[in-house]
Amino acid sequence: MTDTARDSASGPGTSLTSQPIAEIHGLALSIAGREIVTRVDLDIAPGEGVGLVGESGSGKSVTCRSLIGLLGFIGATVTAGQIRIAGRDMTSASQREWQALRGGTVSLVPQASLAALDPLIRVGAQLQEVVRRHDRGADTVARSLELLEQVRMPTPKRVMRAYPHELSGGMRQRAMIALAIAGRPALLIADEATTALDATIQRSILQLLTSLRAELGMALLLVSHDLSVIRSATDRVAVMYAGTIVERAASREVFVRPRHPYTAGLTAADPALVARGQRLRSLPGDPPQPGAWPPGCRFAPRCAYRQPRCEEALPPLIDHGGYAVACVRETEISL
């Protein structure tokens, strides 16, 4: 992304520089010899909020894991491209090298808080263990309470003594966020951090993440199915389909003036982004299975605008100065 385009995409309260805190170029990932991510380009500047959207199976979560060195835990490998964190090439980094960056430079809030928290250890003890790693010599109890207060946790002292199963889903997710920010990361990745929560709690957690981004000056990579939240909480959005990015633009633009038919389809199917009285539309068909891509544009079988040349080759993501799109069409699509 050009500096001019980045400046135009920046929201209030962000302090962006030309040196990305995280960047991936031409990234391809495979599991058991089957390619699941192809030719992904994404960069995140310090303090920037970037949204990552797309249907389930589009490659969002595995892309997130590539930025924190957790590919090996799901059996994925990098087969092409480059991953850089804070200017450092981490494409072939060892787990020891990744461990030096996790928590302090880049941190993750995973999908399932109940699975991520140790069920046999009190929340306070888990927090103190993380604090001890990042703040040697700190008062671990005081710092843990401070973190719980920072994530707007009700009754922090009681939560310190509680086991994960004794907390509500929203409270567990706040505890996970407290763990994730304990090392004061430069980049926080929130991968569907509101899964299985009701709509009201989802909104409060997403609002918390955006508030913490401003308070701590950290960058945020936010993966969510709530397109209206993505639009309001981030500076830029990358849209993924079938393992590749098909559109990338400023958040305030991408769902209002989509250039890719897939983005237009997502927007037209979201009640929060469609005007009252306007009919909701659904995308026909289903996304292809990972690795079982059709020839050419992967969205072509579901696309109302497809042309014969769409099936010739996978369109590259071309930067047009204020937006990037991987489509033979280069015009705005009417919703």
3-state secondary structure of 238: strand
How do strand 88-89 and strand 76-85 relate by DSSP bridges? Answer: antiparallel
The pLDDT confidence band at residue 110, using thresholds 50, 70 and 90, is confident
pLDDT digit string, tens, across residues 38-95: 999 999 999 999 999 999 889 999 999 999 999 999 999 999 999 999 999 999 999 9
Confidence at residue 47, expressed as pLDDT on a 0 to 100 scale: 96
Rounded to an integer, the average pLDDT of 126-145 is 94
Residue, of 4 and 34, whose pLDDT is higher:
34
Lowest average pLDDT, out of 65-74, 190-199, 273-282, 298-307, goes to 273-282
**Is the predicted pLDDT of residue 335 greater than 70, yes or no?**
no
The pLDDT confidence band at residue 194, using thresholds 50, 70 and 90, is confident
Average per-residue pLDDT for the chain = 89
**Is the predicted pLDDT of residue 332 greater than 70, yes or no?**
no
The single-letter code of the amino acid at 6 is R
Confidence at residue 322, expressed as pLDDT on a 0 to 100 scale: 82
Tally Cβ neighbours within 10 Å of residue 48. Answer: 27
Question: Tokens 């804070």 label which residue?
Answer: 86
pTM for the predicted model, two decimal places = 0.89
**Is the predicted pLDDT of residue 21 greater than 90, yes or no?**
yes
The single-letter code of the amino acid at 142 is A
Per residue, what are the HEC states of 85-102?
ECCEECCCCCHHHHHHHE
Q: How far apart are CA 23 and CA 91, in angstroms?
A: 11
Residue, of 292 and 144, whose pLDDT is higher:
144
Q: How far apart are CA 301 and CA 287, in angstroms?
A: 9
Tokens for 55, please give them: 């249907």
The single-letter code of the amino acid at 162 is A
The pLDDT confidence band at residue 4, using thresholds 50, 70 and 90, is very low
Question: Tokens 């707007």 label which residue?
Answer: 152
Confidence at residue 115, expressed as pLDDT on a 0 to 100 scale: 81
- Sheet of 22-31: strand order equals 34-44, 22-31, 76-85, 88-89
Helix pair angle (199-216, 169-181), 10° resolution: 20
* Beta bridge mates, 35: 30
CB contact at 8 A, 291 and 304: no
Tokens for 241, please give them: 């389909």
pLDDT digit string, tens, across residues 229-282: 888 889 999 999 999 999 999 998 998 899 999 999 998 888 777 777 777 788
Tokens for 234, please give them: 């981030």
Confidence at residue 333, expressed as pLDDT on a 0 to 100 scale: 61
**Is the predicted pLDDT of residue 13 greater than 90, yes or no?**
no
Tally Cβ neighbours within 10 Å of residue 129. Answer: 15
* Beta bridge mates, 107: 188
CB contact at 8 A, 113 and 176: yes
pLDDT digit string, tens, across residues 138-176: 999 999 999 999 999 999 999 999 999 999 999 999 999
**Is the predicted pLDDT of residue 3 greater than 80, yes or no?**
no
- Parse the chain into domains and list their residue ranges: 116-183, 258-325
